[in-house]
Structure 1
Amino acid sequence: MNKKIHLKVNTDIDATTEILSWFEQINQPPLPDQKIWWKCQTLLMEGFANIVEHAHKDLPVETPIELEVVRLIEHIEIRIWCLGLAFDLEKQLQITPELIDNFLERGRGLKIMSSIADELTYLPTDDHRYCLFCKIKY
């Protein structure tokens, strides 16, 4: 099974309801393991929130964020493109406290994502954007 969906939204944290509704398409037929589906939803929402709150924090709300999800036979890939600044994901993961020691209300999103995803990157693209990429196997 190969299925791909695409969505473009504004830099608005209130778009999460629309994104989750759109994302439901990829779970047809439903994944056999509900925990994998919850992990995928968490990756998508944490990734989107990080783009809004960090990468796009100084950009107008009209700034687009593009999302793409691909469901393949053995895994799901999530891509979120943004116009944010350069960011060293690996360095940030190294300096962020471990989840077990991190009782802050904010700042845990990347650690949560790295603990769930089988692959997590944030890389520049040829069109001068950045792509947050998550892959989860099932």
Structure 2
Amino acid sequence: METNLLIHNYSLQVASDLDAMVTVVEWFDQFNGTQIPYQTWLEGQTALLEGFTNVVRHAHSHLSPETPVNLEIQISPEYFQICIWDQGDSFDLEAALEKFNQETSQREFDPLDHESQWGCIFLLKLRKDYGWTISYIRELDNRNCLLLKKTLTIS
């Protein structure tokens, strides 16, 4: 069995507090200028901040602000992956993305009328237009994982 020794793992745990966003941004800055193309890094940063904000505002809204949010980055020559774990209730992200896929394809769709759903609209755009794999999975330990993965093109 061959293992890829070129996979680098990075993790961070922060409280469910929007003030922790500064820590998240500073932590993620270390990945800018690595083997990740700048455009991919920028897309990933935006998705990370949207995912973290959704955990605080939605998934953990009924929990203590000290409830941890776990973040993990994996970088390999083949992919760039972001995982965000929360302890909120289960949520059907696929259904939400499909709903917005149908709505955004209608001519009269105005994103300004859907401010509270901009996160789903953004994730849908990352998936459709920029090739990100996006899933939200309920883990066995009753946590949820938002998985954001981008295949890196080898130059």
Whether the TM-score (by the shorter chain) exceeds 0.5 is yes
Offset from partner CA, 1:64-113 (integer Å, 9 cap, x none) = 11000101112211111111001111111223342962113331102202
Of 106-115 and 127-136, more deviation after overlay is shown by 106-115
Q: What's 2:139 paired with?
A: 125
Deviation at 1:126, TM superposition (A): 1.6
Aligned residues of 1:26 and 1:71 also touching (Cα < 8 A) = no
TM-score, normalising length: structure 2: 0.80
Partner of 2:85: 81
Runs ≥4 residues deviating over 4 A:
none
Alignment partner, residue 20 of structure 1: 25
Distance 1:110 1:133 in 2: 14
Residue 101 of structure 1 is matched in structure 2 by 110
Q: Do the aligned residues in 2 keep the contact of 1:120 with 1:132 (CA within 8 Å)?
A: yes
Please give the alpha-carbon distance, in whole angstroms, between the structure 1 residues aligned to 2:52 and 2:80: 16
What value does the CA root-mean-square deviation take over the aligned residues? 1.8
Give the whole-Å Cα distance in 2 for the aligned partners of 1:3 and 1:25.
13
Q: Which residue of 2 aligns with 1:43?
A: 47
Extract unaligned runs of 5+ from structure 2. 1-5
Q: Which of structures 1 and 2 has the bigger CA Rg?
A: 2
Match of 2:3 in 1: none
Aligned-partner Cα distance in 2 for 1:62–1:113? 27
Q: Is the 8 A contact 1:3 1:26 kept in 2?
A: no
* Cα distance between partner residues in 2 of 1:5 and 1:27: 14
Q: What are the equivalent positions in structure 2 for 1:4-15 lying under 5 Å apart?
A: 4-15=9-20
Q: Structure 1 stretches of 5 or more lacking a match?
A: none
Q: Deviations over 1:5-37 (max 9, x none)?
A: 101111011111100111122335353x32111
Kept in 2: contact 1:120–1:133 (CA 8 A): yes
CA distance in 1, matches of 2:122, 2:150: 13
Percent same amino acid among aligned pairs?
Answer: 34
SS in 2 for 1:69: strand
**TM-score of the pair, normalised by structure 1:** 0.89
Kindly indicate whether the alpha-carbon contact (under 8 Å) linking 1:46 and 1:110 is maintained by their aligned counterparts in 2. Answer: no
